[in-house]
Amino acid sequence: MKRCLYRAEMLEEQEAVFFRSEALSASLAEAMKRLSVDYLSLFNCGGQLFLYYECLESEITPENLLPQAASRLAVWPGGERGRRWAPLTDIFHYQQPVSAEHWERHAATTPYGRIARLKPEAAASYIYYHYQYQEERPGDGDKYGIIGQHENMLFFYAERPDTREPAPYAGKLQTSLRPDNWAEVMEPHFIKWAGAPAGQELWRPLELVLEQRACAGKLGTRNA
């Protein structure tokens, strides 16, 4: 199983209406079933899109899932020529899937996402602390929580309510160096959002645009 996180930018912010359309949902449902993709969520923030999904077999690109979106998205430099979706690197996760049985959801959850901006000079430190945390304390938070990074943008995906259970594996580190004053240590790593509501100065919540699942061959769609 492969967990995928991508970032894109709409040419026009009003194009978000397209991603909520029934026509898109129907074609996406068929593509997910055919390509063995599950638990897809799409989020928006001011015209920037953040995509999460799970490939159950071979890795699938967003271009294969959402070919109709290409004309509505800006081109990102790098990668394939004309690339619209930029992949985010997994820099932190509370757990990683070890089998289909381990990763199965046993209760209804709702996906949510949020974004933050790293100070470029603080990226190495942020990744260092998070790798340390990930490998010292696997299973310490929401089972499905994951942070992806592209350039200095962080995308945090998780599900509510939290799924808390021990990880079925040991971490790669036997140390106990994660700082207890975690929030205090993390704050200097971020560029704050100007004019943000209280409590959202570092992490900005995203709007859920589309949620689609293909569990056990039964497709479910929710347009936000």
pTM > 0.75: yes
Rounded CA-CA distance 45/65 in Å is 21
Rounded CA-CA distance 49/194 in Å is 20
Q: Long-range pairs for 24-27 at CB < 8 Å and ≥24 separation?
A: 24/66, 24/68, 24/210, 25/210, 25/212, 25/221, 25/223, 27/68
Residue 216: what pLDDT? 44
Per-residue pLDDT of the chain (224 residues; tens, 9 = 90+): 999 999 999 998 777 889 988 889 999 999 999 999 999 999 999 999 999 999 999 999 999 999 999 999 999 988 888 899 999 999 999 999 999 999 999 999 999 999 999 999 999 999 999 999 999 999 999 999 999 999 999 999 999 999 999 999 999 999 999 999 999 999 999 999 999 999 999 999 999 999 999 854 444 445 55
Residue 222: what pLDDT? 53
pLDDT tens column, 16-71: 889 988 889 999 999 999 999 999 999 999 999 999 999 999 999 999 999 999 99
Cβ-contact 155, 205 below 8 angstroms: no
Query: Taking the CB of residue 121, how many other CB atoms lie within 10 A of it?
Result: 9
